[in-house]
Amino acid sequence: MRFFRDLTLLVLALGGAIGFSQVPRFVQEYEQRLGGALQEARRQLGRFDALAQGEGLPLEALGRRLERSADPAVAGMGRVVAEQAGRVESLTRQAEALGGASRFLKPLVLLRHHDTELLAATWAKYEYTLTLDVGFAALGALVGLLLNALLWARPGRRAAQPLARS
């Protein structure tokens, strides 16, 4: 029984260390995708903004004007302008939140503030490596140790009482 207990300890601690070491790299890859998506969204919004300025209107006014059009294609363009402005705002908030977070909080920030499509695309292209991040490896090893302790804990078992010596 001790052999299995030691084996699970080793597997869970090493697995946790290696698994958690992947987190900073995944976050970094997401941040790179986020930066690219934000840059492209701003570029596209800039085109709409240039059109609005050519008409002597703020961007929001151009979007509303287009949306009120009787032509469905033009009205659809108005919705695209509004959606693009919202996307730029959302991606900017995400980038600022991730940029302002410490390295250990970035994964939690990413869980709370992410673009679902960017996250899925990052995960689809992510490749595991054996790069070990010391801080996250230590955290992963600790989680592995805790999981091992929970796995082998016997419910209702009392702590061993020391034998009294006479």
Residue 119 lies in a domain: yes
pLDDT in tens, 128-156: 877 777 888 888 888 988 888 888 887 76
Residue 153 lies in a domain: no
Vertex 102, ends 96 and 106: CA angle to 5°? 65
Residue 18 lies in a domain: yes
**DSSP code string of 83-123:** HHHHHHHHHHHHHHHHHHS-TTTHHHHHHHS--HHHHHHHH
Residue 109 lies in a domain: yes
Distance CA 19, CA 127 (A): 12
Residue 88 lies in a domain: yes
**DSSP code string of 26-70:** HHHHHHHHHHHHHHHHHHHHHHHHHHHHHTT--HHHHHHHHHT-S
Residue 149 lies in a domain: no
Distance CA 120, CA 36 (A): 15
Tokens 């804990």 belong to residue: 153
Residue 21 lies in a domain: yes
Question: Quick one: pLDDT at residue 15?
Answer: 84
**Structural domain count of the chain:** 1
Residue 96 lies in a domain: yes
**Which 3 state secondary structure label does DSSP give 16?**
helix
Per-residue pLDDT of the chain (166 residues; tens, 9 = 90+): 788 888 888 888 888 888 888 899 999 999 999 999 999 999 999 999 999 999 999 999 999 999 999 999 999 999 999 999 999 999 999 999 999 999 999 999 999 999 999 999 999 998 887 777 788 888 888 898 888 888 888 776 555 555 655 5
